[in-house]
Structure 1
Amino acid sequence: MRHPLLPQLIVDNNVTHFTIAGDWESRTAAELKAISEGLDVAGTTISDDVDSIPSIWAWPLLFEMALYDTRHPMHLRVLGEWRGLLAMLALKDWCEFPLTTDTIDITDLTTNSPGAKDFLQALQRLRPKSNPSDILDTTTTWNILNIVEFNGKPIGITSPTTLVCTSVKCFARISGVPWFDGKLLENPVPKLNSFEKTAVAGWLNNLRESTNTLPDTSIKNNLRGLLHTFIGDLDNNTAAPTFSARGLGLTQNLFTAMNNPVAPQDLPSSIKLVPSENKEPQKTLLVFDESIAEDWGVPPQNVFVWKGKTLATTQDFSRKRKPELSLPNDIELRRPQDFFSDKLFVIQGKNAFLKETTLAANGSEDLKFNQIDVTPILPFTEELLTYFDVRDLSERITFEQPHPGAPITVSLRFNLSGIQEQSREFTIKKVYEERNISTISTAPTVAVWPNFRTPDWKAYYTYFTTDGQETFYTKPFLAAGEKSDPRPDKDDRGNVNGEITKTERFPEAMLCEYKGAKVGVLLISVPEEIKSNNETWYVGVDFGTSSTTIYNRKGDSAPQPVSFNDRILYISKSDAYQPSMVYNDFLSPKREETPFFSLFQESENKEKNEPLLDGHIYFLEDYNKLSSAKNLVSNLKWSAIPSHREHVREFLKQLCLQCAAEAINDGAAKIECNFSYPLSFTETNRYDFTDIWGMVASDCEKKTGVSHQIVTPGQSESVVAAKFFASTLQNTQATGGFTSGAVCIDIGGETSDISIWQNNELYWETSLRFAGRHIFLDLFKENPGFLNLFQTWDSEKDSEENRRIREEAITSLKSMKNNDDQYDDQFYAQADALIQDKGQVLLDELPIVRDQSAIQPFFSLISLGVAGLLYYVGLLLNHLSNNTNFKSDIPSIYIGGNGSKILHWMAGGSFNPDNENGKRCRQHLKRVILTASEFDDNNRGIEISKFPKAEAAYGLVAAGIKLESDGIESSGDQPKFLAGERFTQNETDYEWDEILTDERFRNRISVNNLENIHNFIESFNDSLGTELPVDLNATLSGKTQGSAPIGEVIFEALEKVFQNYSDPTKEISGEPIFILALKELLRAKTRQWKNVDI
């Protein structure tokens, strides 16, 4: 296409004709003017640069000519450039244009730059004349040039005739200016929004008014006319703007009105991400995408990015980088790709995440990859979780796949702040081609405890395990400022195979990683908050040697056993999921009834002493799995190992956490916790136990928000057990007291706690280290093989299975038999679990096998222990009747605790009074009591607990009990013991009814005669011991003591005990001499039965 650089002449012209083409001729100025006026240039434009005029001043002069001459073929172009540069100066700070100026004085020849002086001299010689009529201001001439630069590159100069003049070429020098077409500046009016138009119009009006003082010339009038028209095209809004304090350095009189741009206006951004209503993120996100304007159907200059910046002023930024904006620290810019994961990870199979507890996105359940159904991990960054509620977010995500095998498009729909404070919706998308989709065969097992929320609960535990499968890793999302406490279980390569993490809030989502790379999120259906009824739970905790029992009471109602419901919320389960893994690593996945075993399992990756993280209560899933359980700690109540005391604290912390969970779900907001302990605890034991409970309560209150009050001092187990027997739970006719008297015996694993009452007044209480382990479990410990005498464990199973189970039990018990205390603890745990699991089956079989001669010693040994305990009770009654106002009348005998079940074994299956053997055993035991007490018989008998092991916990919170007891703790006295046998101390002989204390035991005592033991044996042999009579003169053979009479063995054992008691470096818990002798007698008879030396 040709351009009219040599246009035709108009019809009515005064041009003198030239006769010879190509010759230079001298003509007058009038003829040259006639040529200029005679050229037909109307309606033509010049699109190419004109750079062939041989003068460095040619372009400014041509710019002036074309600007003021509306008929000039370059007028529209130059006018657009002129307006464009003025608009850039006006909006420099508004739009953050990187404009600067550099001033040159062409008359200053002092420069040392090579060639510069010659160039300046050339400029001087060729500069246009500054006649007053040819310039706007006589004080501002061509001598001073202000070069306008964009990012350090020149794009124009100031002009004394046109104010500004653009560079001939601006290619690749300007960016981010909507009215720059890549080569030339254009008329900015169509590219400005209303705010920008107002700003530029006000700036131009100020500039126009600054020309009022200029000389009245035609060039001034032309300039003012152009400015007036420019302002008019900007909708004539000439409100005075606020100017920026930062100037461009334009100090000449004519240019001072252009020195200060319009100050940025704090305009609301159109692209602020609108968060969910319940979210208050600390930072504001601006979502930048060039397609927003098109999506909303508005010009890009109407979509504000930040302050004066709009999509129009940032539209040329590469999609690979973000616009450079001066944003405050609490505002950040994001591109759509910043929200998506690079790859889409999918799990094989539909609904890989549980529908009941996770939130699926639209279309996510209908995806296929490689011809199989898949479940996607939501391919988004965790940052979105700060801005969106998970349910809201799930509803904004959509998966689309036109047909199986097609690429998967994931879109996210959200609201931006919009225009004129009217939010608008915008959708971002990412297409995942086959190469960007990865499959994982199975999800991990992920769960959260507890499965509820309250405003103040601050201890949520997330359980993660791969179950040995190749899968992804996941951890809870943490809100801003939230802390977490993870316990990872890593393999040798550093891979996390399992992890438990404590967080302060219920996890809204899980963050997913695969081989160290972040791959997306899982959204959790967060439970609704539970509302409190402000009720109080009165909780009683019997932390026993073998098992722990918890009861609670609300108001004046009867106490109820506390059960730990399954409050685990599963998010996913792997293909290899096994409940036993959760048992071993975390919590019971089913409802756990009270009592439960007092077992603690320490974590292999323990860091501190935090329940569930560094260890947990071991809820027994299956007796057969106990022997394989790792890091199991038992005998918590009595262990002297310091680390085991820490385990006690962890055990009780978890217990209180789970109690609080049950209380909250029952509407309670406060827990008043009561605990008990045996009087046989040493002083240190009692103080430590009380301190532990105080720490546990404080910790639990902080974690749960449930008020915890520990009732101190703790109560003795002997007294609280009696409260149970005085309640209607044991006897519906009970009145809450013992007017006619009662002996209450709580036989536990390690202690038998005894209290004696009359007229509802406590006459005696004591705690004996002689209980279930000594009377019953030690028989299994010494001779586990006798279990082979039982024909069947379960009649529904075949005999081969019965034999297998029996052999496994015997093997496991034998494997635990060792002199080491640790092995003893493991044995008792194993034996307790065996009795719980198979005890009733064995009891049911006893009537069948009891007549076998080989099993008769078993019954006799149990009877020996029980009868000896009750004989000592008889001695206590004897003492009370002789030394207090206690009436010589046999009271009712109540026997409870787990050990009360021993009476059924003793009776060959049932101790119930309607059973012949049970009736006979009751008579024999009562006769033993009568012998020791020397009381007359009456119609009161022996009654066993209807709810073994419930006694102490129930009694701790029972209401309406009339029993009166100050208790040993309040009196400040040391526990006292009735000696039960004569003894010598400091060369003084004392009778069997002398009162002993731990302090008295410090002075060495000796025993030369066991008169009451002899009397007991005589009574026992006449009744319960007929099948296996006791003879102290019988020889006991063994490897350590050779052959010695049983009596001699007992005296030797007592001597060692007394020697230990007198050691001032040891803290002791004294025992009655009669009970010490009885324990040694039972040990001796047990060894005699097995004929082994332990």
Structure 2
Amino acid sequence: MQANNTTPGDAVPLLPELDSATGRVPAVPPAQWSATTDGLLGQVATSIKVPGLLTGEHSIDSIPDLWARPLLFELALLDSRHPLHKQVQGEWRGLLALLALREVRGLDFKAEALELPASAANLGRAPAFVQAATRLLPRRQLSEDTPWTNLYIFTYRGRAVGITSPTTLVCTAADCRGRFDSRVSWATEAGLQDPVPFLTATEKAALAHWLVILVTNLNAHPAISGREAGDLLNRLGGQLSKFAESLNSPPVNHEFSNRFLGLNTGFYTYLDKPLRAREVSLEESAARLVTTPGLKAPIGLLIVDPTIAEYWRVKPSEVPLFGRETLASIDFAALQEVRRGDKDKLRQLGQEVLRNAEWRTAAMLFSERLLLISSNQPFRGVREVEGQRNLTYEQRPVIPILPIASELLDYLSAPELEKRLSFFPEKNNAITVELRLPLAGPDGQARDFPVRHTYDANSIDRRSNFPVLEIWPHFRSEHWHLYYTYYDAALRRPQDIFVARPRIAGVPLDLEANCRSFQRGESDRREVTRLEAPPTAFVCSAYLPERREELEVGCLLLQELEFKESNGSIWSLGVDFGTSATHVYVQAAPGDEPSPLPWSDQLLQITPIGDSERDRLTNFFLPPFLPERPFPTLFRPDSGASQNWPFWQGNIRYVKPALAMLNDLKRNGIASGFKWSEDQALIGGFLIQLAAQSAAYAVERGASAIRWSISYPSAFSSFSEASLRNIWEEITERLNVPVADLRYQTESEAAARYFQHGERVSLVRTVCIDIGGGTSDISIWNNSVLLQQSSIKFAGESIFLDLLRHYPATLGAFGSEWTQQLSNVNKDRSFYAEAVSLFRASQREDLFKKLPILLASSRPGEPLYQFIHLLALGLSGLVFYAGLLLRRLRQEEKWTSDELPYLCVGGNGARIFNWLSLGRAFNKNTKQTELFTSVLRTAAEIGGQGRLDLRISSQPKAEVAYGLLKSERPLKKEEEAIIELAGEDSIDGSGTIVGWSSNLKPEVLAAGLSVPEDFTHLRSFVAAYNAYAATKESLASPVNFNEVAQSIRDIVQDELNEYKEQDPHSIVVKPLFITALKALLKVEAERWLGGGR
């Protein structure tokens, strides 16, 4: 029966039209029946004219057959006239491309075997579905060893996307919607399509090679004989050839991979070998972050972002990442779920495990929050990036914490980051931050790739307060390798400020080992961090109340510190570490006159500070002012430091000039008078900071090496002297500044050098006394040879300050506030330092102006008058002891002159002489010189009538530090130059008399001594003193020695008893005469000032 091809009028044909071009149905007259063969129905089926599919339709799904999909796929693929041919051909090519390029693209593409029963026996035991599928199996196949019973199901990311076919090699699933991700660039939401337009030139050439090999293998494979099978194979080969031709690329030999899917049946084995992906090293990765020259990154860093290829105008597969992975092979959705702290996942890139490298997405390079600081004052020393200077938020000027991951500091220098960062204001108070990253690029040429992050109002945190941030010192030099940063919350709540810790680009920092943190409350937090190079940035974090945690919020990039060139000079530094005050002198070149080290804070203040912040800086780090010279020996200790580094054990507590510190030392736990302490942490902490600041000043001004000169009192115990040397050796090692020399000199020697060179006093026959706060250092010289020196613990504190401590009303004549202020601190351990600060703040000159007037109106029994008497008694007793040293030398015939020596007095205690001269400068013409002449003659047994030539230093306290730098030529010394002269007889345990001229040793004191029946020399001294007291205008009162002698003996014996069984190495020897003299002062003070308490 034949359908009519034309329809008259509006009639609709009952049967479908036949295709005149392909129709093979024989013509039969209408209304006649005729016999035919059984092939007629097949001819009818192939001759029907089938219309195209409606728009939007992709398949025919109404065929009632389990195997309809592969059968339809075969028909559509091998028949170019089929309505689904183009679609199926594209899907077929897409699936073959997946097989060939699965390794190149790093695709999660797998195959699972599907075996159907091949025998009737096995079929009977199979499930009903399997039995039905087997009975309905198609019959056509290309090879005997590739049957329908042995198939493979293809999956992508675990979901079925296709199957093998004995007639078309592969067949896609009927519905692949949503089963592919962006890594399969030739897939749409609906499924696969022709891959040709989406492949790179390299991929096309490699795929062409794979297809040629596939065709060759198929042609050589044993096929089923017969016309039908041969026709199928020819048409299949034709499709493969057309696919290869459409690539428009000559085949290029390419290696095959051994990463098989397991396709081991028939000609499926030719599909099992994918093209080998080019293995890219980390250095060859196009996404590698290029490190700034000079930085040593801890690991390689790959920036993985889906938009890189688009920005560079290349295909994703042309951006090699690492190993066999490219940008096209990455599952970006999975990457977004990885957290920054998950190191294992950050080393897993697709199928590759990164070696000594990690990957980052663009989002990981930005902080979660943008922190803005409201301030009208800029931060100093901080780099400004594009768009920062005029940045506002809610119409207020703000300083942004750059919201970038701190790890970028290991890859990009601060100047590099400065030019690569930009801020862009957006609508609704949003702010966009752009970072232009230098990546290696796909062609070996570095290319920038910009990443952006927009912060809306919900992710911006504005704060109006900020911490104290400081850097010390503020310069760079080839010879300086010690830096500190100081962070102080300044009593502000954590949610109001931010925390900042230093970082050095490309240098790992062990915060546990290099940062000391102090926290005494939620708002009282300080951190001191030690570095070996200037910091390049501060890494900032902020406490977020809603998260209840501290979160990193970005960085402050720092400007480079000024570089100071070395001029090759060797600077000499003389350090006089005193009990009450410390001084440092400097000599920049040989022959230069030594001068006080001009202190400089060398601080770089990052954040603006107010008065309260200045006070905290002074208390806990370095003051933002220049301290006076010399400065008080004060130290605020911190416990817990395991090593002695500057600022580690605490900090020197500098004092503003003319500032009294009453009660301040006790309130802030500040230590004073620790020079004689056994607490090595206090001494070491003080000295190493002092040395660091001194050395930094020298290096900043060009010094390439330092010659250190250190003083110490000869009264130091052997333990104290050894400890001091150990501390200084450690200091020079820690500072890491070249050391030209490290030498030590007694304070008495150094002081004499000052008078020789600074005051032009000849050392032909001279006695020098340096009166400090805790010790007086005496040296005796003859023809520039040091004959004898001694250091005794009898100085300013014993002579002057102890009187005020026990009798604070003594200075009441100057005003009741003196009594009140001294009474407030007289029980403090830090009394000496606080009292000295009171005199410093009150200006001694003002006191001395009032002194003559007040004394003129005082009677001899009143406190101020007796205060002068007691000062005269103490000072003259000290000079008498120096005379005893001289007598010993005369007895040994080492001093042969019968003339009085020059007497030179220096040190802070030298100022006490001005009280005796009623505020005027004391000199040899002052009335009280008669007293010192008398006691010296008596002690030394030098007759005559001439007056003593007494020289008071014009620079009290400068003598030792100055003299240390005037020691170019070695001194000539007697063998037993250092001596602790007993000064009085005593009796040892065996009853033997230990003579007054003995050099008193610690071992003798530890064995035990007893006082004599009478202190002969002390009695002789009192007699000379009383003779002077009887003179007119002496301002001295006579001492009734017989009345106080027993009290003195008892006091001295008690002190001698304390030495018994002590370790001799820790004993500080105190001459018996000096101990008795102190006892005399004590009982005299009780007698005259006791009523004025």
Is the shorter-chain TM-score for this pair beyond 0.5, marking a shared fold? yes
User: Quick one: distance in 2 between partners of 1:113 and 1:829?
Assistant: 106
Q: How does 1:320-719 map to 2 (within 5 A)?
A: 320-321=336-337, 324=350, 326-351=352-377, 353-354=378-379, 356-401=380-425, 406-454=429-477, 459-470=482-493, 471-478=496-503, 481-484=508-511, 485-492=514-521, 494=522, 497-515=525-543, 516-558=550-592, 559-574=594-609, 577-603=612-638, 611-621=646-656, 623-629=659-665, 630-640=668-678, 644-698=679-733, 700=734, 704-708=735-739, 711=742, 714-719=744-749
User: Quick one: distance in 2 between partners of 1:114 and 1:569?
Assistant: 90
Superposition deviation, residue 222 in structure 1? 3.1
Residue equivalent to 2:831: 827
Is contact 1:270-1:303 (8 Å) kept?
yes
Residue equivalent to 1:195: 202
Residue equivalent to 1:181: 188
Superposition deviation, residue 358 in structure 1? 1.0
Query: Which one is further off, 263-272 or 936-945?
Result: 936-945
User: Quick one: distance in 2 between partners of 1:848 and 1:451?
Assistant: 51
Residue equivalent to 1:725: 755
Q: How does 1:951-990 map to 2 (within 5 A)?
A: 951-961=959-969, 963-965=971-973, 976-983=979-986, 986-987=990-991
User: Quick one: distance in 2 between partners of 1:939 and 1:8?
Assistant: 150
Is contact 1:510-1:521 (8 Å) kept?
yes
Q: 1:277 to 1:1064 in 2, by over 3 A?
A: closer
Residue equivalent to 1:1087: 1086
Superposition deviation, residue 74 in structure 1? 1.8
Q: 1:1064 to 1:218 in 2, by over 3 A?
A: closer
Residue equivalent to 1:789: 813
Superposition deviation, residue 210 in structure 1? 1.7
Superposition deviation, residue 180 in structure 1? 1.2
Superposition deviation, residue 46 in structure 1? 8.8
Superposition deviation, residue 390 in structure 1? 1.9
Is contact 2:747-2:777 (8 Å) kept?
yes
Please give the secondary structure, in 1, of the residue aligned with 2:441.
Answer: strand
Letter in 1 for 2:557: L
User: Quick one: distance in 2 between partners of 1:89 and 1:593?
Assistant: 83
Is contact 2:92-2:171 (8 Å) kept?
yes
**2:912 equivalent to 1:880:** no
Q: TM-score, normalised by structure 2?
A: 0.87
Superposition deviation, residue 533 in structure 1? 4.3
Q: 1:711 to 1:111 in 2, by over 3 A?
A: farther
Residue equivalent to 1:76: 86
RMSD: 3.5
**2:139 equivalent to 1:129:** yes
**2:870 equivalent to 1:865:** no
Superposition deviation, residue 31 in structure 1? 5.6
Q: 1:29 to 1:314 in 2, by over 3 A?
A: farther
User: Quick one: distance in 2 between partners of 1:302 and 1:98?
Assistant: 19
Please give the secondary structure, in 2, of the residue aligned with 1:899.
Answer: helix
Is contact 1:347-1:375 (8 Å) kept?
yes
Q: 1:1079 to 1:108 in 2, by over 3 A?
A: same
Q: 1:8 to 1:468 in 2, by over 3 A?
A: farther
Per-residue CA distance 1:636-660 (angstroms, 9 max, x = gap): 11235xxx33211211222222223
Is contact 2:636-2:650 (8 Å) kept?
yes
Aligned residue pairs, count:
1030
Letter in 2 for 1:160: P
Is contact 1:41-1:72 (8 Å) kept?
no
User: Quick one: distance in 2 between partners of 1:982 and 1:317?
Assistant: 96
Is contact 1:201-1:237 (8 Å) kept?
yes
Q: How does 1:97-176 map to 2 (within 5 A)?
A: 97-108=107-118, 116-130=126-140, 135=142, 137-175=143-181, 176=183
**2:945 equivalent to 1:947:** no
Please give the secondary structure, in 1, of the residue aligned with 2:572.
Answer: strand
Superposition deviation, residue 878 in structure 1? 2.6
Letter in 1 for 2:433: V
Is contact 1:109-1:117 (8 Å) kept?
no
Q: 2:100 aligns with which of 72, 90, 102?
A: 90
Per-residue CA distance 1:359-394 (angstroms, 9 max, x = gap): 122222323333433222222332332222223212
Please give the secondary structure, in 1, of the residue aligned with 2:830.
Answer: helix
Superposition deviation, residue 674 in structure 1? 3.0
Q: Which runs of 5+ in 1 are unaligned?
A: 791-802, 1035-1043
Residue equivalent to 1:796: none
Is contact 1:472-1:513 (8 Å) kept?
no
Superposition deviation, residue 584 in structure 1? 0.7
Superposition deviation, residue 115 in structure 1? 9.0
Q: 1:310 to 1:439 in 2, by over 3 A?
A: same
Q: 1:457 to 1:219 in 2, by over 3 A?
A: farther
Residue equivalent to 2:1051: 1053
Letter in 2 for 1:952: V
Residue equivalent to 2:342: none
Residue equivalent to 1:920: 927
Superposition deviation, residue 90 in structure 1? 1.0
Q: 1:312 to 1:685 in 2, by over 3 A?
A: closer
Superposition deviation, residue 1061 in structure 1? 4.2
Query: Which one is further off, 526-535 or 1075-1084?
Result: 526-535
Q: 1:339 to 1:111 in 2, by over 3 A?
A: farther
Is contact 1:604-1:631 (8 Å) kept?
no
Q: 2:1011 aligns with which of 990, 1002, 1006?
A: 1006
Q: 1:756 aligns with which of 762, 774, 780?
A: 780
Is contact 2:114-2:151 (8 Å) kept?
yes
Superposition deviation, residue 242 in structure 1? 1.8
Per-residue CA distance 1:86-115 (angstroms, 9 max, x = gap): 111111222221222222332346999999
Letter in 2 for 1:236: S
Residue equivalent to 2:343: none
Is contact 2:635-2:650 (8 Å) kept?
yes
Is contact 1:466-1:574 (8 Å) kept?
no
Q: 1:984 to 1:960 in 2, by over 3 A?
A: same
Residue equivalent to 2:840: 836
User: Quick one: distance in 1 between partners of 2:248 and 2:301?
Assistant: 34
Please give the secondary structure, in 2, of the residue aligned with 1:476.
Answer: strand
Identity percentage of aligned residues:
31
Residue equivalent to 1:852: 857
Per-residue CA distance 1:546-591 (angstroms, 9 max, x = gap): 1122223345233333343112211113566432111111112223
**2:291 equivalent to 1:266:** no
User: Quick one: distance in 2 between partners of 1:110 and 1:104?
Assistant: 18
Residue equivalent to 1:997: 1001
Is contact 2:662-2:834 (8 Å) kept?
yes
Is contact 1:482-1:504 (8 Å) kept?
no
Q: 1:439 to 1:383 in 2, by over 3 A?
A: same
Is contact 1:467-1:576 (8 Å) kept?
no
Q: 1:1003 to 1:903 in 2, by over 3 A?
A: same
Per-residue CA distance 1:44-96 (angstroms, 9 max, x = gap): 99942222222233332332232222222222112111111111111122222
Superposition deviation, residue 757 in structure 1? 1.1
